[in-house]
Chains A and B, each alone.
Chain A
Amino acid sequence: MTSPEKRELTTVPRFSDKVFRGIVTGGGLSSLIILGLIFAFLAYQGYSVLRSQGVHFITGSAWQIVQDSAGNIDYAQTKFGIAAMLIGTMLCALIAVFIAVPISVLSALFLTFYAPPFVKRIMVAVVDLMAAFPSILFGLWGFFILMPSVEYWAKLIHKYFGFIPIFKLEAPVVTRSPFVAGVVLAVMIIPIVTSVSREIFSQTPLDRIQAAYALGATRWSMIRAVVFPYGKSGVVGGAMLGLGRAMGETVAVYTVLNIVYKVNWHVLLGAGGNVASMILLKFGEAGPEEIKALMAAGLVLFLLTLLVNSLADFIVNKSGSKGR
């Protein structure tokens, strides 16, 4: 009788596993590759404009293409500066965040600590559904339904808070203002801020909640003493995530905002802009040189949203793992 051949015991992965791990790792690295390629190609296309305009591309707010009589572009006079649009982007996005964050935090609190289970299930589904709506839907809805009401609110704000500088109106034009765009963007980012806040709130340690109740806290004092200190930074992260989304929004802003290429701090005045919608606006009739400038603007927008998102991600993750 021959004993079976002794099996070889080894921790060295087989060939098939090596291939598998190689393929999966390659797939996993795709996000790095894609982000890298986005940066590289936008930088490559926008390089000449960035080089000729220098820091003026970010600080200047003139956008003019000067051609000489032969139709060639006069590089000394041509100016590309996106400061006006950058300011517009920040303005709209900040209005959106200021409106959306309180509403989102309150609804996250409601969903986590107040709602009966079946209400919670329905409302969570409704809020998630809203996150899946396409932006053109928000654009049209904002244009036809929301804008008339928001204009009325804008007039009220101007009437009662007009003494605050940013609510000043130099001309009585309130249609299609950054405020309107901000409200539409707020509606669009409420779902994401709500779901991030809800996730953070639901991670509040149960023993501390029960400790607060045992000490005689009402629901509100429990929230103030336990939930807010625990979830504070998570809410900040969620707000920044919303800010990043609001900054990159194109179609909805394009629909409701009157895009005027100048610096405008007055949120109620019907003139503003946003880098993304400016790209869409100018793209249609742009010549080769202007396309390059738009690529550079896209690069700035890409880096800006990347920065805000990364920061938000960092903050959210840190607050999640803290677990004091």
Chain B
Amino acid sequence: MTIIVKPEKPWASSPKQRAISAGIIVLALMSTYLVVLLTPMKGKLAYGLVFFLLFILFDFIYHTRLYGFRSGKDAIARGVVASGIVFATLPIFSILITVFIRGRRGLYWGLFSNDMKANSVNDPLNQGGLVHALTGTFILVTIALIISLPIGILTALYLTEIRGRFSGPIKFLVQAMSGVPSIVAGLFILAAIVYPITKSYSGFMGSLALTILMIPTIARTSEEVLLLIPGELREAGLALGGTQWRTVAMVVVPAAKSGLVTAVILGIARVAGETAPIILLTGGGDRVNPNPFNGPMGSLPFYIWKSFSVGTEESVTRAWAGIFVLLMIVLVLFVSARFLSERGKS
């Protein structure tokens, strides 16, 4: 007869303990209802607060009676710590729900086939569309990406491959650059190029401002990715007689490919919804303007901004619909970045 030893997990909670924890929650819920009913407190705030306090109190009493005061204190701490994550993630769920509910009303398929050249934001919601905004944002982001991708990756390569004497300062400066407020980036392009040279709105100026905001994101993410490439790969490349340039171009960068794509996606997500520099630099037309060097160019954030500022019911619904589309873009970008980086790890 063979004896199969079943591994025990003495730290795992038993069904009885789990039942008791659930019981404490139920008890707290019921007494919360009673307390709110019997006292003049009212509203969601009261329910939340009373439930939180009562739950912690019951948990504390239970653990203190069972294991002593120190365990009771631990239970209080656990409740308070868990409340932190609730507060931190409550807004995001609220935001997602709000955008879905409010944005849905302004959605229709014509959004993706019409622009606003014949309509004002106050027209009924089944007229006009986002084409000018979507093409504008696409052009702005593409140009910004074309400029900032090489710069960002070169910065990351400098930090990981060359490791020259400026590594420390450059790391510091990239970090500092990621904190530059977007309005300052806008003002800089205004001061450096628009006022002295072009003197008018254009999509390209907006792209340049977005570039400033995009470079640090790409540089930092790429640096993290390149640091994960094992040094053996580099040594193997050099040992085969490759120069450093060939090793980086043929071995290191291809190995980091999916991570670098992640960096690009995060960079796009960072700037796609950037509003302040767009307001200063590109203006916003109501028709599709495919030329980034001439004339104002519509963009999604500007469309949202303008519709929101008008403030009538139709225009605000339009703003929510615009946000819905923007949020979808950001969500798709974010999920694909996650997917790529998870796959890269395994």
Let me know if A219 and B74 touch, CB within 8 A: yes
Inter-chain contact A187/B91, CB cutoff 8 Å: yes
Taking a contact as CB atoms under 8 Å apart, the answer to whether B301 and A29 are in contact is no
Determine which of B154, B212, B304, B327 lies in contact with A28 in the assembled complex, contact meaning CB atoms within 8 Å. Answer: B154
CB distance from A213 to the nearest CB of B (A): 11
CA distance A285 to B48 in the complex (A): 46
Q: Is the CB of A20 within 8 A of B151?
A: no
Identify the closest chain A residue to B211 (Cβ): A34
Chain A, interface size: which category? 35 or more
Q: Which of A19, A110, A135, A221 contacts B84 (CB 8 A)?
A: A110
Known: A110-B82, A127-B89. A294 touches B187 (CB 8 A): yes
Question: In the complex, which residue of chain A has the Cβ closest to the Cβ of B161?
Answer: A24
Q: Distance in Å from the Cβ of A130 to the closest Cβ of chain B?
A: 5
**Is chain B's interface secondary structure helix, strand, loop, or mixed overall?**
helix
A239 within 8 A of B: no
How far does the Cβ of A180 sit from chain B's closest Cβ, in whole Å?
Answer: 14
Residues of A within 8 A of B80 (CB): 106
Is B40 interfacial (CB-CB < 8 Å)? Answer: no
B70 touches A221 (CB 8 A): yes
Contact: A106 with B83, CB < 8 Å?
yes
Cβ B191 vs Cβ A41 within 8 A: yes
Q: Which among A31, A133, A194, A313 has the highest number of chain B CB atoms within 10 Å?
A: A31
Measured CB to CB, the closest approach of chain B to A268, in angstroms, equals 17
> Complex Cα distance A321/B141, Å?
37
CB distance from B185 to the nearest CB of A (A): 8
Which residues, 24 to 55 on A, are CB-close (under 8 Å) to B? 24-32, 34-35, 37-38, 41-42, 44-45
Q: A133-B273, A134-B330, A136-B305 are in contact. Are A37 and B188 (CB under 8 A)?
A: yes
Q: Is the CB of B179 within 8 A of A28?
A: no
Q: Does B319 contact A (CB under 8 A)?
A: yes
Tell me, yes or no, whether A171 is within 8 Å of chain B by CB.
no
Which among B45, B195, B245 is the interface contact of A45 at CB below 8 angstroms? B195
Does A151 sit within 8 A of B, measured CB to CB? no
Give the chain A neighbours of B219 by CB distance below 8 A: 31
A145 to B97, CA, bound (A): 11
B:137-153 near A, CB below 8 Å: 150-151, 153
Cβ–Cβ contact B158 & A250, under 8 A: no
Contacts of A125 in B (CB 8 A): 338
Chain A residues whose C-beta falls within 8 Å of the C-beta of B91 in the assembled complex: 130, 141, 146, 187, 190
A103 contacts chain B at the CB level, 8 A cutoff: yes
A248 and B243 contacting across the interface, CB-CB below 8 Å: no
A265 CB within 8 Å of chain B? no
Rounded to whole Å, the gap between the CB of A35 and the closest CB of chain B is: 6
A187-214 CB contacts (< 8 Å) to partner B? 187, 190-191, 194
- Known A16-B245, A24-B154, A144-B98; contact A302-B180, beta-carbon cutoff 8 A: yes
- Contact of A250 with B155 at beta-carbon distance under 8 Å, contacts A17-B245, A126-B92 already known: no
In angstroms, how far is the closest chain A Cβ from the Cβ of B103?
Answer: 10
Q: In the complex the two chains form, what is the Cα distance from A291 to B169 in whole Å?
A: 33
The answer to whether B314 has its CB under 8 Å from any CB of chain A is no
B76 smallest CB distance to A (angstroms)? 8
A62: Cβ under 8 A from any B Cβ: no
Q: Across the interface, do A106 and B173 meet the contact criterion of CB distance under 8 Å?
A: no
Against A, the Cβ 8 Å flags (1 = close, 0 = not) of B157-185 are 11101101010011011111111111111
* Chain A contact residues: helix, strand, loop or mixed: helix
Within 8 A of A (CB), among B69-83: 70-71, 73-74, 76-78, 80-83
Report yes or no: B245 in contact with A31, Cβ–Cβ below 8 A: no
Whether, in the assembled complex, B3 has its beta carbon less than 8 Å from a beta carbon of chain A, the answer is no
Q: Which chain B positions have C-beta within 8 A of A106?
A: 80-81, 83-85, 87-88
B244 CB–A CB distance under 8 Å = yes
- Minimum distance in angstroms from B216 CB to a CB of chain A: 7
A242 to B29 Cα, complex, angstroms = 35
- B84 neighbours in A (Cβ, 8 Å): 102-110
A127 contact set on B, CB distance < 8 A = 88-89, 92
B215 interface residue (CB < 8 Å to A):
yes
Question: How far apart sit A25 and B154, CA to CA, in the bound complex (Å)?
Answer: 8
| B167 to A: closest C-beta gap in Å | 8
Closest to A16 in B: B245
Instruction: Using known A-B contacts A16-B243, A134-B273, A141-B94, determine if residue A25 contacts B172 with beta carbons closer than 8 Å.
Output: no
Are A132's CB and B266's CB within 8 A? yes
Query: Could you tell me if B308 and A34 are in contact, using CB atoms closer than 8 angstroms?
Result: no
- Give me the 8 closest cross-chain CB pairs, A-B, nearest first: A134-B273, A106-B84, A27-B154, A248-B181, A28-B158, A309-B179, A220-B77, A20-B245
Q: List the interface of chain B (C-beta within 8 A of A).
A: 45, 70-71, 73-74, 76-78, 80-85, 87-89, 91-92, 94-95, 98-99, 102, 150-151, 153-155, 157-159, 161-162, 164, 166, 169-170, 172-185, 187-188, 190-192, 195, 212, 215-216, 219, 243-246, 248, 266, 269-270, 272-276, 279-280, 301, 304-305, 308, 319-320, 323, 326-327, 330-331, 333-334, 338
A interface residue numbers (CB < 8 A to B): 13-14, 16-17, 19-21, 23-32, 34-35, 37-38, 41-42, 44-45, 102-111, 114-115, 123, 125-130, 132-138, 140-141, 144-146, 152-153, 187, 190-191, 194, 218-221, 223, 241, 244-245, 247-251, 255, 276, 279-280, 283, 291, 294-295, 298, 301-302, 305-306, 308-310, 313
Q: Would you list 28 pairs from A and B whose C-beta atoms are within 8 A, ordered by A residue?
A: A20-B244, A20-B248, A29-B166, A30-B154, A30-B155, A38-B188, A41-B192, A105-B84, A107-B88, A126-B89, A129-B92, A130-B91, A136-B304, A136-B323, A140-B308, A190-B88, A190-B91, A194-B88, A218-B73, A218-B74, A220-B73, A220-B78, A247-B181, A248-B184, A251-B275, A280-B276, A302-B181, A313-B175
6 more A-B residue pairs beyond the given contacts A27-B151, A103-B87, A136-B301, with a C-beta to C-beta distance below 8 A: A31-B219, A37-B188, A135-B182, A144-B102, A218-B71, A313-B175
